[in-house]
Amino acid sequence: MMKRNFVLLLLLTGLSAIAQKAPAPFKNGDRVVFAGNSITEAGFYPNYVWLYYITHFPDRKMEVMNGGIGGDVAKQIYTRLEGDLLAKKPDVLVVSFGMNDSKYFEYGMHKDKVDSVRKAAVDTSYNSFKMIEQKLNALPDIRKIMMTSSPYDETVKNEKNYFPGKWKTMEEIVAFQKAAAIKDGWAYVDLFYPMTAMEQQKQKEDSTFTLTGPDRIHPGNAGHFVMAYLFLKAQGLNNQPIADVRIDAAKNKVLQSGNCTISNVSTANNAISFTYLAKSLPFPIDTVARVWGNSQKQSDALDVIPFIKEFDQEMLTVKGLKGNHYSISIDGKAISQCTAQQLNDGINLAILPNTPQYQQAKAIMDLQLKRKELEDKMRAYYWINYDYLNGKGMLFNDSQASLDSVMSAAKKDFFVASKKDVYAEVRSPETREKIQEQMNEMRDEMYKMAQPTAHLISIKQID
C-alpha cells in the first residue's frame, strides 16, 4: 500500500503541471455508454444528461445508454466489457466505480484493522482498474471519461449503514482514478468532492440533509440531478441560454435574439406581439420521487445547485413599456401577469410550467421515462447473466435450464428474486430485439418532438 501510494504521489507530482482533461460535449451521432454499479443502473442521472441534450440541442441526435449493474466493482466492470459495454458500440464510454470497491460491513467487523481493510480494498480496486485501463487504451477510437463515484455520506445524522472510514477509502480510489485519467489522457469528471462539499455545507443547517438517501449510499432523484449537473458543467455547457429575447417596445425594435428568431413584431392597442422561434426548449423539472425507498424529488436539488441560473434561462426582456401591469399570453393562452418593471428586468419563461414550450419538453421527459422502463428490463437481463448465470457457466444461455436455475436461486437470494420475473420476460432474443426496436422508436420520436416550434407571444397592458 505504501509503495503504491508513493508511486501515485510521484505520478501526481510529475503531472502537476498538466491539468485534468475536461470531457468534450457529445457530438451528433454519438453513442454514449455510462458504465457503473447500481447508482448507474438506476438510470436517472444518465437520462437527465441526455434530456438536457435533447431539449437544448434537438438537432444533435445521439443516444445515451445505461451500462450499470448493481453491486459491481471494477473487476466486474472489466468482466463485462466485451459482452455488455463494448457490445453497445460506444463512441464515448464513461467509467465509474468506487462505492462497492470501498467495502461496507468490513469496517465494523475489523474495527482494529481499518487500515488493513482500506489497503485491501484500494489495492484490489486499483489492480482491477489496471485491466480496464489496458483494454480501453487499446481502443483509441473510443473517447474515455473517468467519472468518480458519488460519495458515501459518512457525516449525515443517520443510524443506518454507518461505516466509519469508508469515505476515506473512496478518497484513495478517487486519487488513483484522477492520476490515471491524467496519465492516459482520459477526460475526468469529479462528483465525489463537489457532492461531499454540498452535503456538508447543508448539514450545518440540517444534520439530516443528504444527497444520497436513507442508506447513505444510493442518491435519490435530487442526488442524480446533482450528478447530471456536475457532468454537464464539466462539459462546459453551463451558461448557454435557451433563448435571450430583448425588445424595445417604445421603438418597436428587437434589441437581441439569442439562440432564437424573432419576427413580425407589432405594437398596437397597448400591446406588443411577435413570433418567437427558439432553437432550444426549457429543461422540465420533475417533481415526483422515482427512486425506490427514497423520498427525494429532482426539484429538491435546486436548493443546492444553481441549475436554473446556469442551464435553464429562457429570458424575455421588454423595455420602454408605459403601463404598470401586463399579461403575457402565448398562442392565445394566458401564461402570466407581471409588472412593467419585471419585464424591463427580464423574466425567465423556463420556470413557467404552463408555457407550450415547457409542455413540449415535459412530453419528451414523459416519453423518456417510458423508454427507461424498457431499458431497466434490459439491465435486469444483464444483471442476472453477469451476477448469477456467469458463475454457473451459463452466461447468455437463454435456455429453459437457465430459467429454472434462476427461479431456484430466487427462493434464497433476494437480489435474484427481485429480477427473476423480468428475466423470464426478456430472456428470449426475439423479445429483447423487440424491446430494442421500441427503444429506438422512442429515441427517434423524442427528437421529432424536440424540434423547434414557432409561437405567438403577446404582451398586453392591464393598467
Q: State yes or no: pLDDT of 15 exceeds 80.
A: no
Q: State yes or no: pLDDT of 185 exceeds 70.
A: yes
Cα 24 from Cα 60, distance rounded (Å):
14
Q: State yes or no: pLDDT of 355 exceeds 70.
A: yes
Mean pLDDT for 77-98 is 98
What share of the chain has pLDDT > 90, as a percent? 90
Per-residue model confidence as pLDDT tens digits over 358-374: 999 999 999 999 999 99
Mean pLDDT of the chain: 94
Q: State yes or no: pLDDT of 262 exceeds 70.
A: yes
Region of 393 (left: φ > 0; alpha: ψ -120 to 50; beta: rest) is left
Q: State yes or no: pLDDT of 105 exceeds 80.
A: yes
Q: Is the dihedral of CA 389, 438, 96, 188 positive or negative?
A: positive
Per-residue model confidence as pLDDT tens digits over 20-34: 899 999 999 999 999
Confidence of residue 18 (pLDDT cuts 50, 70, 90): low
Q: State yes or no: pLDDT of 246 exceeds 90.
A: yes
Q: What is the DSSP string of 167-234?
A: HHHHHHHHHHHHHHHHHHT-EEE--HHHHHHHHHHHHTT-TT--SS-TTSSS--HHHHHHHHHHHHHH
Confidence of residue 418 (pLDDT cuts 50, 70, 90): very high
Q: Give the range among 71-85, 101-115, 120-134, 245-259 with minimum mean pLDDT.
A: 101-115
Cα 313 from Cα 351, distance rounded (Å):
8
Q: State yes or no: pLDDT of 8 exceeds 70.
A: no
Mean pLDDT for 300-321 is 97
Per-residue model confidence as pLDDT tens digits over 200-224: 999 999 999 999 989 999 999 999 9
Mean pLDDT for 236-255 is 95
pLDDT score recorded for residue 2:
38
346-357 in b/e form (b: 16+ CB < 10 A) is: bbbbbebeebeb
pLDDT score recorded for residue 189:
98
Q: Give yes or no for a contact between 438 and 374, defined as CB atoms under 8 angstroms apart.
A: yes
pLDDT score recorded for residue 12:
44
Confidence of residue 109 (pLDDT cuts 50, 70, 90): confident
Q: Give yes or no for a contact between 263 and 254, defined as CB atoms under 8 angstroms apart.
A: no
Q: State yes or no: pLDDT of 332 exceeds 50.
A: yes
- Residue 391: exposure state from Cβ atoms within 10 A (0-12, 13-18, ≥19): exposed
Instruction: Give me the long-range contacts of 127-134 (CB less than 8 A, separation at least 24).
Output: 128/73, 128/74, 128/75, 128/77, 128/78, 128/101, 129/74, 129/97, 129/176, 129/177, 129/180, 131/75, 131/78, 132/74, 132/77, 132/78, 132/81, 132/95, 133/180, 133/184
Q: State yes or no: pLDDT of 354 exceeds 90.
A: yes
Per-residue model confidence as pLDDT tens digits over 125-154: 999 999 999 999 999 999 999 999 999 999
Q: Give yes or no for a contact between 180 and 129, defined as CB atoms under 8 angstroms apart.
A: yes
Per-residue model confidence as pLDDT tens digits over 282-298: 999 999 999 989 999 99
Which distant-in-sequence residues (6+ apart) come within 8 Å of 336 by Cβ? 327, 328, 347, 352
Q: State yes or no: pLDDT of 85 exceeds 50.
A: yes
Q: State yes or no: pLDDT of 278 exceeds 90.
A: yes
Q: State yes or no: pLDDT of 389 exceeds 60.
A: yes
Which distant-in-sequence residues (6+ apart) come within 8 Å of 59 by Cβ? 28
- Quote the pTM value: 0.94
Q: State yes or no: pLDDT of 16 exceeds 50.
A: no
Q: Is the dihedral of CA 427, 433, 436, 437 positive or negative?
A: negative
152, HSE (Cβ side, Cα atoms, 13 Å): 23
Confidence of residue 5 (pLDDT cuts 50, 70, 90): very low
Q: State yes or no: pLDDT of 1 exceeds 70.
A: no
